[in-house]
Every structure is written in C-alpha cells, then in structure tokens.
Amino acid sequence: MKSLLLRLVVVFVLMPVSAVPALSAEEIKIPFHLAKGQLLYEKYCSSCHGLQLNGSDKGPPLIHPFYKPSHHNDKSVYRAALKGVKQHHWNFGDMPPVVGMTPGKMDRVVPYLRYYQRQKKLY
C-alpha cells in the first residue's frame, strides 16, 4: 500500500517534467554550437515564422524555396531583421524591424536558420 502511494507521488511529481518538451517540439536535432541561435530565433522570430520555421498566421515559412541563400542571401536576412521588410511576396503585411535585435545576435540566428533549411533539404 505504502509503495503504491509512493509510486503515485512519483508519477505526479515527474509528470509535468516529461510534459515540457512539447513546447519547442524539435524534429530536427540542433548541434550544441547552434543552440544560442535557436534560442534567439525562438525569442525574436518564431512568433511570426513558427517554431519549426514553418510560418504562422503572422508570417511566412522560412523553409520556403524563396528563402534559399541563392534567392535571399545572408545579407538580406540581416536586413530583414534589423530594418524590416515591406510586404512583397505574401499577404501578411510588412515585417517590422525586430525590436531588440542586433547584428551580433543575428550572427547567431543566421547559421541556425541556414542549418535548419539544409536539414529540411531546402538546398
């Protein structure tokens, strides 16, 4: 009886921990050196471009062929984040400059973005 009670307690204590990963459900394994970029992407970009870069009702997917380096090079990614973009490919409206974003933070975000695109076989 006592051990059953103990087991129940253990289950209820551990349950929330095992339920956490769903939030940033990563189907793609992110190498350690890109973890900071992922964190910054999730903080500054994912609200519009999606946690899995698959877009949202506020912004397009960044794993779309438009955003291959051959079509939107790294410079244009920095420019989008730091200066914003006028609506031109989609109907989500303009992308405003991202508040709090810096070139230094983008140095982390861009390699993460490119890695993710390659894992998705975009290029």
Give the residues lining the site for ligand HEC (CB under 6 A). 44-45, 47-49, 58-60, 67, 72, 76-77, 80-81, 85, 87-90, 92-93, 95-96, 98, 101, 109
Please state, in angstroms and rounded to a whole number, the distance separating the CA atoms of residues 26 and 52.
7
Please state, in angstroms and rounded to a whole number, the distance separating the CA atoms of residues 66 and 88.
12
Name which of 44 and 116 has its Cβ closer to ligand HEC.
44
Q: Which residues of 45-55 are buried (b: 16+ CB within 10 A; e: fewer)?
A: bbebbbbbbeb
Minimum Å gap between C-beta 118 and ligand HEC is 16
Minimum Å gap between C-beta 15 and ligand HEC is 33
Name which of 15 and 99 has its Cβ closer to ligand HEC.
99
CA distances 119 to 24, 26, 46, 47, 99, Å, are 17, 12, 18, 21, 28
Name which of 49 and 63 has its Cβ closer to ligand HEC.
49
